[in-house]
A and B are shown apart, each in its own frame.
Chain A
Amino acid sequence: MDAVFKALADSSRRKLLDELRKQNGQTLSELCEHLDMTRQAVTKHLVLLEKANLIAVVWRGREKLHYLNPMPLREICERWIGKYERHRLQALSDLKKGLEQTKTKKTKTK
């Protein structure tokens, strides 16, 4: 679990996970296109994410594809978020999203 928190404690690595959330199964070159980082830096971050099991890797021929692996985060949720809390948290999260979207829309129409 230390490896997971360490891997997440860096905004560049969180950005890499965001990229995979948008488009799963990207190669190193594809990931580099969307990020303002050197290829070496991206490689280094990917190694840490892979060690933490936050990224799973599949080879397709000579291409290495990176997938967001939600399992370590799922296990963290199981540990600290209870079965009944989950529904309440979902409701709160939906409310927050709904209200923030409304606010954005209003700002735009002004």
Chain B
Amino acid sequence: MKKDQFVYVTYIRTTPEKLWKALTQPEFTRQFWCNTTQQSEWKPGAPWRIKAPGDLITDSGEVVEIDPPRRLVLKWRNEFRPELKAEGYSRLTYQLEKEGKSVKLTAIHEMEKEGSKFIEAVSSGWPHILASLKSLLETGESLEETREWPREACE
């Protein structure tokens, strides 16, 4: 079956443990993911959601697989743009692999259909967010355009 899929790979000078924390914990995500937080008990089957300022739930789903600090798979649906929500659930996979002094982070976002507007929408946001995450972990500062909500990078 044909599907829409994006694969992003970035190398970050950090440890898998620190990167895992940055991807899941509010004090980090606020800095590089447009002032949003992710809420979940982080165990298989647990609900998962992204919350923007003003209690806006932008995305929701559940934890499919979790193996800290190596692999996280989420079921993911947009919640605030009706045309994207209508497409249903996508699947996001993070893989963290230690390579020398860096961690290779692979983010795969896929949807079991062709011509997905959701995948098109997230494909422009991911590179911003991941570049900002890299900057935060390597320099202590995220990129300015990803610090506030709403921003193009996060919509």
Please pick, from A58, A75, A78, the residue contacting B7 in the complex, using a CB distance under 8 A: A58
Chain B 4-33 interface mask (CB, 8 Å, partner A; 1/0): 011111110000000000000000000000
CB distance from B99 to the nearest CB of A (A): 11
Do A78 and B5 contact each other (CB < 8 Å), given the known contacts A71-B127, A71-B130?
no
Distance of B106 from chain A, by nearest CB (Å): 7
Could you tell me the distance in whole angstroms from the C-beta of B11 to the nearest C-beta in chain A? 7
B3 nearest CB neighbor, chain A only: A25
The one of B106, B128, B131, B144 in contact with A56, judged by C-beta atoms closer than 8 angstroms, is B106
CB contact between B131 and one of A25, A67, A69, A71 (< 8 Å): that residue? A71
Which of chain B's residues have a CB closer than 8 A to the CB of A74? 127-128, 130-131
CB pair B144–A69 under 8 Å, yes or no, is: no
B59 within 8 A of A: no
Instruction: Return the CB mask of B133-152 against A: 1 if under 8 Å, else 0.
Output: 01100000001110000000
B108 interfacial contact with A, CB 8 Å: yes
Task: Determine the main DSSP class of A at the interface with B.
Answer: mixed
> How far, in angstroms, from A53 to B5 measured CA to CA in the complex?
17
Contact residues in A for B130 (Cβ distance below 8 Å) = 71, 74
Interface size class on chain B is: 10 to 19
In this assembly, does A102 line the interface, its C-beta being within 8 Å of a C-beta of chain B?
A: no
Q: Are A75 and B131 in contact (CB under 8 A)?
A: yes
A74–B128 alpha-carbon span in the complex (Å): 8
Asked whether, in the complex, the Cβ of A56 is within 8 Å of the Cβ of B8, the reply is yes
Instruction: Mark out the residues of chain B between 106 and 137 whose CB falls within 8 Å of any chain A CB in the assembled complex.
Output: 106, 108, 127-128, 130-131, 134-135
Q: Which residues of A contact B128 (CB under 8 A)?
A: 74
Contact yes or no, A67 B7, CB < 8 A? yes
Nearest Cβ in chain A — how far from B9, in angstroms? 4
Known A-B contacts: A24-B5, A24-B6, A71-B127. Give 4 more (CB < 8 A).
A53-B9, A53-B10, A71-B10, A74-B131
13 contacts between A and B (CB under 8 A): A53-B10, A56-B106, A67-B6, A69-B7, A69-B9, A70-B8, A71-B10, A71-B131, A75-B10, A75-B134, A78-B135, A78-B143, A83-B144
| A interface with B by C-beta (< 8 Å) | 24-25, 53, 56, 58, 67, 69-71, 74-75, 78, 83
